[in-house]
DNA sequence: GATGAATGAGAATTCATTCAT
DNA sequence: CATGAATGAATTCTCATTCAT
């Protein structure tokens, strides 16, 4: 009788090992062997679950985004007021800066790989889609506020893009230098600025 | 009669060739040979000017920042009003998105390399310094505005960090998807938001 | 109540699966997993019957030769006249070209492995023995003809070697290019040439 | 000034090293590193001349056939009589058995690789072409004999194919077992048989 | 007996760097 | 000075084999 293995579980373990290794060393410097070791398995086993390093990289992107989204969903659950949602959204973002540091470090590599080239790589498509989804989600909150009169905004999608950009840019800057600014002060200041700019 | 070679000039040519190659392929995928070819010289010659690929990468960072700074200086020249300077600063930033695309694509790699690790790499130090300088420059403009009463801001450094973050995040997003948002609309909207948030 | 398995039968099934896979892909490119799949069993099971890939390869050689010999025996059964036996032998050989194509394709690999090296590999010994047996068999037919005066030949063993060589060389050539020559025309021509050269 | 290297010469040296290694170990077992070592160069250098193992293998085929052909040309030079040419041709073939042993051992691999598959591999095409050329060359000699009345043959191309097959089959057999038959006796016998079968 | 998940030795290939000319 | 031929450390990926169930 064949050994019964929870393939989905092991797959996730590999993904999480990959995240740690990639975040530590960077995608290009990271060796498959290191990923295997981090996952506590043999080199060849990784290839039973992912057919190449690229494939693993891609799968990790999906995995990470799914996890991130789930985190946001959970944290935003139950909040109905658009302004409150935005405030919470920003707060959660700042939380992730600290809690999901490795996550964002890996993201550097997606940006570096995905920004490049006109060839419509799978990664590029995914990255583009992920951004579009995020923009739409945030824009939807703003639009809801506009509708119920609690917010004012001519172009919710543009505002959403801008908010996301600020958050991205802040992790970037903060990860390059933890002393660049105080996270809490920045969160308060940013929340104020954004909410004020959307005030009716 | 030795051929007199303008070493500084050739050095710059190599740097610019490297920028094109790195922006096209990414630092890790880029081959030294490709850089040499792009510069129209022999592979070995690159090593006469830069002692290693890392060294070239690092030197390119300095070169690029110097060029960028020079561009900003020129474009901001003559403007005295803090608010006007900020407006112009943002406008110039958006200009660079289009004009300096390869530049930013290479920047992805600096972020990817520099964000990582506690090891105080030379690159990391430089990146940190560059950010600090940029923050100080922008903060200085704001502080000047606060001083002459034309602007209001509790923490100019924090505001500067935030502005820079937004701009960084926007290139990132825009380079991943040129259709993410309209650059001109974004510039206008962003300028408004920022200036309004600094209104006394 | 243990499942009674016809081990010999399954063994043969694996051998035949191996023949198909080896003939398709070549011994070296063929994967044990592919053999297992072709046999409709699990990868590990192959190792219950053959202790290694080499072992399987070797066993296949024996199996194939036994099958081939049986085929010849059946086809030559009842023929007594040496000349007629030779004619039939050649005809059967040409039949096998078409009918046993995979068989010969695998043989390429035995030649490639067996021709090489002074190390007295098991395979090499087997190959040598197989050739010796075949030569003796054919030589025996010729010798019988010489004895009954229906054929003339100074050195039956040499003639046998030559006949076998021609047949081997023809499969080789024909398998490399099905359009190299017409099989039927070749068979007729060859039969004539051989029989005439052995005419008293 | 760049180092001046006789690239063609080194290429040939690598090819010859490859022939030795491939003939010794077989194409599949042979390691690129062994080829490099045999050629007295570094592993990477082989790749400066051949872009892959397959490429080297293919190039070796061409190289070997060219060398073989040159050898035949030289040895047949000056002979005009068709019968004499055939006799000489066979004699040269038997010479090569002894002199070019490694050559033929490598050929096993071409047969093993080239016989297989319907995919029109480059190697397969080359092999087919090589056979066709050889058949035509031999057939031309026979046809010349038919024309001047010194030989008789209904189908020179068929006869040529048969002669080549016999020679191929003989190397095969002989390389598998040097004691299978005496080369000289076989040569004489074969020459007789062939010439007699072509007698008017 | 049968299975297939796990493994790691092994091989092809790449590419930064050196250095003879 | 400039060059590009040579190099080998490093890395990805393959696949025969093992063995727990």
The answer to whether B60 and B15 are in contact (CB under 8 A) is yes
pLDDT above 80: residue B90 = yes
* Calculated CA dihedral for residues A191, A192, A193, A196, nearest 10 degrees: 120
The rounded Cα B178 to chain-centroid distance in angstroms is: 19
Residue C21, CA distances (Å) to A96, C26, C102, D110 in order: 53, 7, 9, 19
Work out the angle at residue C78's Cα, subtended by the Cα atoms of residues C73 and C83, and round it to the nearest 5 degrees: 90
Task: Assign C2 a pLDDT band (cuts: 50, 70, 90).
Answer: very low
pLDDT score, position A5:
64
Give the pLDDT of residue C115. Answer: 80
List chains touching C (3+ CB pairs under 8 A).
Answer: D
Contacts across the C-D interface (CB distance below 8 Å): 158
- CA separation for the pair D120, D125 (Å, rounded): 7
In sequence order, the 6+-apart residues with CB closer than 8 A to the CB of B28 are: A28, B109
Q: Are A148 and B106 in contact (CB under 8 A)?
A: no
The whole-number Å distance from A191's CA to F17's C1' is 61
- Judge whether C194 and D189 are in contact, CB under 8 Å: no
Q: How far is the CA of A42 from the C1' of E8 (A)?
A: 7
Distance CA D179, CA C132 (A): 10
Residue ranges and CATH numbers for the domains of chain C are 1-50 (1.10.10.60), 60-197 (1.10.357.10)
**pLDDT recorded at residue B2:** 45
User: Is pLDDT at C3 greater than 60 in this prediction?
Assistant: no
D-contacting chains (≥3 CB pairs under 8 Å): C
Residue-wise pLDDT tens digits, B15-70: 999 999 999 999 999 999 999 999 999 999 999 999 999 999 999 999 999 999 99
Q: C172-200 pLDDT, tens per residue? A: 999 999 999 999 999 999 999 999 999 98
| Whole-Å CA distances, B164 to A13, A103, A113, B147, B178 | 37, 22, 23, 21, 20
Q: At what angle do helices D183-197 and C183-197 cross, to 10 degrees?
A: 110
Q: Which of C108, C115, C128, C174 is nearest to D165 (CA)?
A: C174
By the 8 A CB rule, do A105 and B114 touch? no
Which structure tokens are listed for D37? 């070592």
Q: Which residue among B161, B177, B180 places its CB closest to the CB of A173?
A: B161
The answer to whether D162 and C187 have CB atoms below 8 angstroms apart is no
Contact yes or no for A169 and B173 at CB 8 A: no
Around Cβ A66, how many Cβ atoms within 10 Å?
10
pLDDT in tens, A76-118: 999 999 999 999 999 999 999 999 999 999 999 999 888 886 6
Percent of chain B with pLDDT over 70: 96
Decide: CB of C52 under 7 A of nucleic strand F.
yes
Measure D44 CA to F7 C1' (Å). Answer: 6
Give residue D130's pLDDT band: very low, low, confident or very high (50, 70, 90). very high
Nearest residue (CA) to C1' of F21: A3
Determine whether B112 is exposed, middle or buried from the number of CB atoms within 10 Å of its CB (0-12, 13-18, 19+): buried
Query: CA(C108)–C1'(E8) in Å?
Result: 31
Backbone torsions φ then ψ of B88, nearest 5 degrees: -65, -40
Cβ atoms of D23 and C118 closer than 8 Å: no
Q: What angle do CA A92, A96, A97 make, to 5 degrees?
A: 120
A45: Cβ under 7 Å from strand F?
no
The percentage of chain C sitting over the pLDDT mark of 70, rounded to a whole number, equals 96
pLDDT in tens, A45-72: 999 999 999 999 999 999 999 999 999 9
Residue C1 pLDDT grade (very low, low, confident, very high; cuts 50, 70, 90): very low
pLDDT at D1: 47
What is the enclosing helix (H) or strand (E) of C14?
helix C7-25
Q: Name the more confident of B121 and A183.
A: A183
Burial of residue C199 (CB within 10 Å: 0-12, 13-18, 19+) is exposed
For residue A178, give the 3-state DSSP assignment: coil
Quick one: pLDDT at residue B118? 62
Cα–Cα distances (Å) from C12 to B126, B175, C73, in that order, read 70, 61, 20
What's the rounded Cα separation, in Å, for the pair B152 and B147? 9
Instruction: Answer yes or no: are the C-beta atoms of C138 and C164 closer than 8 Å.
Output: yes
**Residue showing tokens 């490119």:** C29
CB contact under 8 A, D158 and C132: no
CA closest to C1' of F20 belongs to A3
Query: Of all nucleotides in the shown strands, which has a C1' nearest the CA of A32?
Result: F12
Mean pLDDT, range D141-165, rounded to an integer: 96
Chains with ≥3 Cβ pairs under 8 A against B?
A
- Give the contacts of A37 (CB within 8 A, at least 6 positions apart): none
D118 phi, psi to nearest 5 deg = -90, -15
User: What is the pLDDT at residue B6?
Assistant: 79
CB-CB under 8 Å, A181 with B161: yes
Q: Chain E: nucleotides under 7 Å from a protein CB?
A: 1-21
Instruction: Give residue B10's pLDDT.
Output: 92
Instruction: State whether residue C48 is helix, strand or coil.
Output: helix
Per-residue pLDDT band at B115 (split at 50, 70, 90): confident
Tokens standing for residue A33: 């062997």
Is D131 close to C162, i.e. CB distance below 8 A?
no
> What sign does the dihedral D110-D111-D112-D115 (CA atoms) show?
positive
Q: Which of A48, A46, A44 is nearest to A14 (CA)?
A: A46
Report CA C153 to chain centroid distance, whole Å.
Answer: 26
Q: Is residue C42 helix, strand or coil? A: coil
Rounded to a whole number, what is the distance in Å from the CA of A91 to chain B's nearest CA? 15
pLDDT digits (tens, 9 = 90+) for D79-97: 999 999 999 999 999 999 9
Residue B46 to residues A45, B18, B28, B142, C88: CA-CA distances in angstroms?
41, 10, 17, 43, 75
Between the CA of C164 and the C1' of F5, what is the distance in angstroms?
A: 51
Count CA within 13 A, CB hemisphere, residue B134.
24
- Token pair, residue C71, equals 């085929």
Q: Is D114 helix (H, G, I), strand (E, B) or coil?
A: helix
């Amino acid at each position: 009788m064949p050994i019964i293995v929870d393939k989905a579980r092991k797959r996730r373990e590999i993904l999480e090992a990959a995240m740690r290794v990639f975040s530590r060393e960077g995608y290009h410097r990271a060796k498959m062997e290191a990923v295997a070791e981090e996952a506590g398995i043999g080199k060849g086993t990784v290839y039973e679950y992912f057919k190449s390093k690229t494939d693993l990289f891609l799968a990790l992107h999906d995995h990470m985004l799914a996890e991130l989204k789930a985190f946001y969903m959970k944290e935003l659950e139950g909040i109905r007021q658009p302004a409150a949602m935005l405030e919470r959204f920003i707060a959660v973002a700042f939380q992730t800066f600290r809690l999901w540091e490795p996550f964002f470090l890996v993201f550097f590599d997606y940006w570096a790989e995905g920004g490049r080239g006109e060839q419509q790589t799978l990664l590029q498509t995914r990255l583009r889609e992920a951004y579009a989804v995020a923009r739409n989600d945030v824009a939807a909150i703003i639009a809801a506020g506009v509708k119920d009169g609690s917010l004012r905004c001519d172009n919710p999608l543009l505002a959403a893009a801008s908010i996301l950009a600020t958050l991205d840019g802040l992790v970037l800057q903060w990860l390059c230098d933890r002393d660049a600014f105080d996270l809490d002060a920045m969160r308060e200041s940013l929340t104020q600025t954004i909410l004020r700019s959307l005030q009716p």
